[in-house]
Amino acid sequence: MNKSNPQPQRLKQLNVHTSQGLAGQLTRESQIVFGYRTEDPHCEISLTMPLRAETYAANILPGVLRQNLPEGYLLHWIRERFGKTMKMDDFNILALTGSDMIGRVSVSLNENHVEHAKAENLNALLSWKGSESLFDYLAEKYAGTSGISGVQPKVLAVAYEDKETVDKGVMKDRKLIIKASGVDYEGLAENEFHCMTMGMLAGLNVPKFWLSENKEVFVIERFDIDPISGEYLGFEDMTALTGKQNDGKYDSSYENVAKAIDIFSSSTYKTESLAEFFKSLVLSIAVRNGDAHLKNFGMLYTTPETNDVRLSPLYDIVCTTAYIPRDTIALKMNKAKVWPTREHLIEFGKAHCRLDRPVEIIDEVLNVVTAYAPAIETGQIWKKMQPELVKGAGSLSKPRSVSQKI
């Protein structure tokens, strides 16, 4: 007797939470509908979705929820494991991964938050000597509940440091993003470690980060957590804030990013955020990072009602031309996707970032990149990065005088 296969499950309703409490419900009707179930403005879920009695309806998920949908490796992993029993559309994938997402917003099937996995030993992760790959081990444990976008293999996890290396009185679990190089981009973890180190040396706001001993895994501390209260902070990337879907992350310009930072930053953080954005952009050009797209810039805040909206710390910066020699910038600048010259950057800084002396920022970054000497034993990827850094930094250097050329 033949039995028909059961149809994959198609969920219809999710509860949406913030660090401040239950915010409302997301339902699947003829459209995706979100309605607030609170009168507390501090429970607003987005800078673009103020508290109101009327519901929000669209054919796609709200940007603050859509921004964290898995991509690449993580999406493939989820489809392989849940595709037979659950329809793999955005709503259902959000239900799977939305209990732990970057930012202060999460989702659940009921009105209670989900308990997360037990913390890992950070030092053991960094010195991993298991028979299976570290990332395979972590993926099995965390991938199904990791609400984070990006093509690179990555998961959200919690870890603690050994008692021998940390004062017992200040020990606390660290919430981390753990990223692997993947088969397509050998040495990517080490690549990111070098680029983030240069960002730190240049004075950019950078979360704490580590590279595993075998150089296969890059670990970075989540920046969306208040260091004092431990509560999750609000985070919205530029796709969410500018109304783009995730696959439209390359479809914009750096002028539009600067405009969004100007619009959404609180008055006390506006100047600082625009300067930080400009410096991070200079660094991306100097290290030849062709992946500084809309999803790699975002705004951080306590709640939409607090006066502390500012640019988030630096993240996801790598030398892409070490893999794709003819790669170019991710977004347009001055209406073109070509590596900008020093003169174009100076004009951009003055016109769009309100900087009086963008030259000083450019030269500060260039000094770091040109002088950078890795403090670790390097792998093969560093040999590929070196000529790209010379090329990138050289394109932004001061033009030599006639006497110098002679």
pTM of the model: 0.90
Q: Which residue has the higher pLDDT, 11 or 356?
A: 356
Phi/psi region, residue 327 (left: phi>0; alpha: psi -120 to 50; beta: rest), is beta
Gyration radius of the chain's alpha carbons: 22
Give the pair of three-digit tokens for residue 236: 């919205």
The whole-number pLDDT of residue 88 equals: 86
User: Taking the CB of residue 301, how many other CB atoms lie within 10 A of it?
Assistant: 24
Residues 6+ apart with CB under 8 A from 375: 197
Owner of token pair 């609170």 = 38
Please give the pLDDT value at position 73: 77
> CB-based burial of residue 79 (10 Å sphere; 0-12 exposed, 13-18 middle, 19+ buried)?
middle
CA distance 103 to 19: 9
Task: Collapse the DSSP code of 281 into the 3-class scheme (helix H, G, I; strand E, B; otherwise coil) and give the result.
Answer: helix
Q: Which of 231, 234, 14 is nearest to 112 (CA)?
A: 14
Residue 149 pLDDT: 61
**pLDDT exceeds 70 at position 358:** yes
Greater confidence, 230 or 267?
267
Backbone dihedral angles phi then psi of residue 246, each to the nearest 5 degrees? -60, -35
Q: Can you list the alpha helix ranges (DSSP code H) found in 27-89?
A: 63-66, 72-82
Q: How confident is the model at residue 140 (pLDDT cuts 50, 70, 90)?
A: confident
Mean pLDDT for the stretch of residues 286-291: 98
Task: Tell me which residue has tokens 């930053």.
Answer: 265
CA gap 278, 274 in Å, rounded: 6
Mean pLDDT on 51-59: 97
pLDDT of residue 151: 60
pLDDT band at residue 126, thresholds of 50, 70 and 90? confident
Which bin fits 284, alpha (ψ -120 to 50), beta or left (φ > 0)?
alpha
| pLDDT at residue 112, as a whole number | 58
Q: Which two tokens stand for residue 226?
A: 């208040």
Per-position b or e across 147-166, b if 16+ CB within 10 A of its CB: bbbbebbbbbbbbbeeeeee
What single-letter DSSP state applies at residue 134? H
Other C-beta atoms closer than 10 Å to the C-beta of 240 total: 26
Half-sphere exposure at residue 174, Cβ-oriented, CA atoms within 13 angstroms = 24
Q: Look at residue 129 in the predicted model and tell me its pLDDT.
A: 67
Q: Give the pLDDT band of residue 252 (cuts 50, 70, 90).
A: very high
Q: What is the pLDDT of residue 130?
A: 58
pLDDT at 242 over 70: yes
What is the per-residue DSSP string for 331-374? SBBTTB-SPPPHHHHHHHHHHHS--S-HHHHHHHHHHHHHH---
Q: What is the mean pLDDT of the chain?
A: 88
126 vs 171: CA distance, rounded Å: 18
- The residue behind tokens 């996890």 is 157
* pLDDT score recorded for residue 340: 97
Per-domain boundaries in the chain: 13-70+82-106, 119-161+173-396
Query: Reduced to 3 DSSP states, what percent helix, strand and coil does the chain have, rounded to the nearest 5?
Result: 35, 15, 45
* Strand locations in 251-346 (E): 298-301, 310-311
DSSP code of residue 128: -
The pLDDT of residue 131 is above 60? no
Lowest mean pLDDT among 54-63, 132-141, 207-216, 285-294: 132-141
The pLDDT tens digits for 102-124 are 999 999 987 655 555 667 778 87
